[in-house]
Structure 1
């Protein structure tokens, strides 16, 4: 029997059965369901399951926080059910614009975050190897490693075309072709003039052009399916959709969205330049609240837009200390507690926190001991303030936690200096939260 087969069956039953599932995806630590009726789910039974950390209802999603092995459980559930491809009942459509936006961003970005971090780590390790003289990027091995690290980001529009099409419930390979069209080598940086509209744009490494074009394609695709006879529907619908939407996307939507991307990056940097320290305090203090409600993906998306526009971003460095602060709190609780069950919970929580995965620490330990959660947020604010003060930036996508070191390579700030400021930011956060927790925590205290 597969490792997670029984658990997956129990999850399916406790969320109201297959017939209650409208759609399902996952991010780094969570299963994200859209249910027809959330009241049919048994929250208490789900939360009592061994591998479940918490249940969160946010952004129109029923989120089950699992942890590092979420993808294994996701795949096992998929093997047991067939997620229906039909619309939500009308009563579930009354959600706010902000909630809908976060749901769309999560649905598009969540499936690619893990492999994006992996590719960023490869890029960072290659650059680190070059700094220390371990790797020659011009050698045969170096050339392969550089290509491996760059491949995801160069062809990112293809991935986004696929995930956007899946999110909007059309054939995902229509979105894949749209993404491939955007990065087709012969179309990069050439002057085109169609119906009086000029274009001279490169779309590799971009985000918004393919997303907006694929969203437009989804509406065209669905309407064509209604009017084209079934006998030719299979090939005529994707063909006509691509013929209609691709030129519009390339000539009109693409250049406009590239300007929007630049505008978003400019706005983030304007806010950061107004007061880097204040930005660090706000981001460092609030990051874990955003994680609790599962809406942090929208902030990550902004940082991704910045980096894929070949700009450094302060976002990841301002929020980075928050995970180390949370980890320090849980580490101290692990040291001080004599409660065997709590000690067993805190050990894996602080270990995963070192690598930037803090949901086990938040849901399993600190959120139920709210003053220690607040202490970790204050530590994150102090660490973020230092990161803002020092001008610390991320120059490429990387992993989280300790793995985010590789994001510091390749920018204006020398790596040795960036590493010093990175260390100081996290040490400040950990010292504050660790010392305060050491003073305040005892097994008898109640929240």
Structure 2
């Protein structure tokens, strides 16, 4: 298997024009992302013939090759081994051919994808902790009441889970600093500064505004700066990291080499922290409040219509890569409000895609197509829809249409029933860990409707299409 994977990795290099045609290479959860010198050398048809490849296409200024979760990491490492001896800068990505929107989406993707494992892992643990500690899940009493021996375990699980969201500024500052080209360790230090225990918790800001809590201030050259922390914040550390890297790079140009070690880090951190507590933090907190209120306002204005539209649009957004921006938004929503209707809808969308896949398996004319459809459907049930979209539903067109229509119906039902998720986490049947227990029955009912509606529409249309021939 390993030798076969290496051979296909070599063929992927060949079909994108050879290692000399690769300007940059990164990967996300499921896809290899190439920046190529000569776009005409990208052989989409040959790539799609490889068993490892579930799809190949151009999006957001990159040539993307869909491999699948887990496997993509191995293939990426193999390709890097094959090309880095000749191209030590192969991981650098030129973006001069991207428009402003594409650059923005790519930036969000580059910053937030690396921290997703921590956020998703914490979300799963949060769900498990809630299952153990919430009454009414398995009987009248909570499991920790029925089995006191597991209370300590439940407390530990919840502590670990809440750490990721409380200290998310550290994750964001690290990833953003690395993405902007600065020293990631300075990013970690910046994130820790923003959540220092001596600062008033950001969660108490509303109490400060109402007058219930009196904050402390630094008095610096006549300026009174509130000692406010930025726990559960995303935008302040994101922008602060950019300022940190800007200062770091410019100081390197100005400071003699012999003094850089003792000058750059303290100056960059001090100035960035000062600007963050004075301007960046309050401003970005207000932007985050507007963003969160705006999204919640849209869902409050006409919840069912908002749910339908979001369900309809999610998979097209995944195809274009624009969903990465909404991932960042949902991280902010969860950090601010501890719930998201959008994430609840996303857990259902993949099931609608799976319904279309299994219908296509029944409609398949040969064993190979049937196997591809079943494999894609299984992947969709686990929350990974790219193999399905690029290998099954989009090529056939009508299954993709029926899957997103079914997802739209499911989105409307989710909002009608007011089912929300408490974190990012697994989609499909395993999503119960991020859905509050009181919504489980309703959630799985909507999931079943999405699956069977997509399956039925795809199968019936496919049969009618065959008979009409």
Normalising by structure 2, we get a TM-score of: 0.85
Paired with 2:468 and 2:26, the residues of 1 have a C-alpha distance of 37
Tell me the equivalent position of 1:164: 176
Selected match of 2:348 from 304, 321, 332: 321
1:113 aligns with 2:133: no
Q: Provide the aligned length of Structure 1 versus Structure 2.
A: 438
CA contact (8 A) 1:29 1:66 kept: yes
Tell me the equivalent position of 1:46: 47
Of structures 1 and 2, the larger Rg is shown by 2
Change (3 A) 1:258 1:445: farther
Tell me the equivalent position of 2:456: 435
Selected match of 2:74 from 48, 69, 72: 72
Change (3 A) 1:73 1:421: same
Change (3 A) 1:238 1:57: farther
Paired with 1:153 and 1:446, the residues of 2 have a C-alpha distance of 55
Change (3 A) 1:335 1:6: same
1:304 CA displacement: 1.2
- Identify the range of structure 1 (123-132 vs 13-22) with the bigger mean alpha-carbon deviation: 13-22
Paired with 2:383 and 2:114, the residues of 1 have a C-alpha distance of 18
1:361 CA displacement: 0.9
Tell me the equivalent position of 1:374: 401
1:157 CA displacement: 1.6
CA contact (8 A) 1:392 1:422 kept: yes
Paired with 1:14 and 1:173, the residues of 2 have a C-alpha distance of 38
CA contact (8 A) 2:23 2:92 kept: yes
- Identify the range of structure 1 (372-381 vs 151-160) with the bigger mean alpha-carbon deviation: 151-160
The superposition leaves residues 263-308 of structure 1 with CA deviations (integer Å, 9 ceiling, x where unpaired) of 1110001111111111111111111111111221111211111110
Query: Secondary structure of 2:420's partner?
Result: coil
Change (3 A) 1:384 1:436: same
1:425 aligns with 2:446: yes
1:445 CA displacement: 8.1
1:180 aligns with 2:192: yes
CA contact (8 A) 1:60 1:103 kept: no
Tell me the equivalent position of 1:102: 105
Selected match of 1:339 from 349, 366, 377: 366
1:57 aligns with 2:58: yes
Paired with 1:446 and 1:323, the residues of 2 have a C-alpha distance of 30
Query: Secondary structure of 2:188's partner?
Result: helix
Paired with 1:124 and 1:257, the residues of 2 have a C-alpha distance of 29
Change (3 A) 1:12 1:237: farther
CA contact (8 A) 2:129 2:155 kept: no
- Identify the range of structure 1 (260-269 vs 218-227) with the bigger mean alpha-carbon deviation: 218-227
Change (3 A) 1:79 1:231: farther
Paired with 1:234 and 1:72, the residues of 2 have a C-alpha distance of 37
CA contact (8 A) 1:183 1:204 kept: yes
Tell me the equivalent position of 2:377: 350
CA contact (8 A) 2:56 2:390 kept: no
Tell me the equivalent position of 2:161: 149
Paired with 1:326 and 1:397, the residues of 2 have a C-alpha distance of 19
Paired with 2:261 and 2:64, the residues of 1 have a C-alpha distance of 35
Query: Secondary structure of 2:115's partner?
Result: helix
Paired with 1:324 and 1:163, the residues of 2 have a C-alpha distance of 31
1:314 CA displacement: 1.3
Paired with 1:170 and 1:381, the residues of 2 have a C-alpha distance of 42
Paired with 2:188 and 2:21, the residues of 1 have a C-alpha distance of 29
Normalising by structure 1, we get a TM-score of: 0.89
CA contact (8 A) 2:122 2:162 kept: yes
Paired with 2:149 and 2:217, the residues of 1 have a C-alpha distance of 35
- Identify the range of structure 1 (192-201 vs 243-252) with the bigger mean alpha-carbon deviation: 192-201
1:40 CA displacement: 4.4
1:123 aligns with 2:126: yes
1:161 CA displacement: 1.6
1:238 CA displacement: 3.2
1:86 CA displacement: 6.4
1:441 CA displacement: 1.8
Query: Secondary structure of 2:52's partner?
Result: coil
